Chain A
Amino acid sequence: MSAIPLSHILILASILFIIGFVGVIVRKNTLYMLMSLEVMLNAVGVAFIGAGSAWQQADGQVMFILILTLAAAEVAVGLALLIQMQRKFKSLDIDLLSKLRG
Chain B
Amino acid sequence: MMILSPLEWMFYLAALLAVVASVKVITGKNSVHSLLYLVVSLLAVAVCFYLMGAPFAAGLEVIVYAGAILVLFVFAIMMFGLGQDETLHAPKIASMRIWLGPCCIALVLLVQLLYVIDSSALQEKLTSNIIDAKQVGTLLYGPYLLAVEIASFLLLAGLIAGYHFAKPDGQYEHLNIQQSTNEKGEL
Query: Does A touch B (CB under 8 Å) in the complex?
Result: yes
A: residues with CB less than 8 A from B are 1-12, 14-23, 25-29, 31-32, 34-36, 38-39, 42, 45-46, 49-50, 52-54, 56-62, 64-66, 68-77, 79-84, 86-89, 91-93, 96, 99
Bound form: Cα–Cα A62–B57 in Å: 9
Q: Would B102 and A77 count as touching, CB distance under 8 A? A: no
Which B residues touch A91, using CB under 8 A?
85, 88-89
Which A residues touch B159, using CB under 8 A? Answer: 76
What number of residue pairs across chains A and B have CB atoms under 8 A from each other?
267
Query: A5-B126, A35-B73, A54-B125 given as contacts; is B144 within 8 A of A62 (CB)?
Result: yes
Known: A14-B113, A42-B42, A45-B61. 16 other contacts (CB 8 A): A2-B128, A4-B51, A19-B26, A25-B102, A26-B98, A27-B90, A32-B86, A35-B34, A39-B38, A50-B52, A53-B53, A58-B136, A65-B57, A76-B158, A80-B164, A82-B82
Interface residues of B (CB under 8 A from A): 5, 7-8, 10-12, 15, 18-19, 22-23, 25-26, 28, 31, 34-35, 38, 41-42, 45, 48-49, 51-54, 56-57, 60-61, 64-65, 68-70, 72-73, 76-77, 80-83, 85-86, 88-91, 98-99, 101-103, 105-107, 109-110, 113-114, 117-118, 122-131, 135-136, 138-140, 144, 147, 151, 154-155, 157-159, 161-166, 168-169, 183-184, 187
Kindly list chain A residues whose C-beta atoms are within 8 Å of the C-beta of B52. Answer: 4, 9, 49-50, 53
In the complex the two chains form, what is the Cα distance from A65 to B168 in whole Å?
32
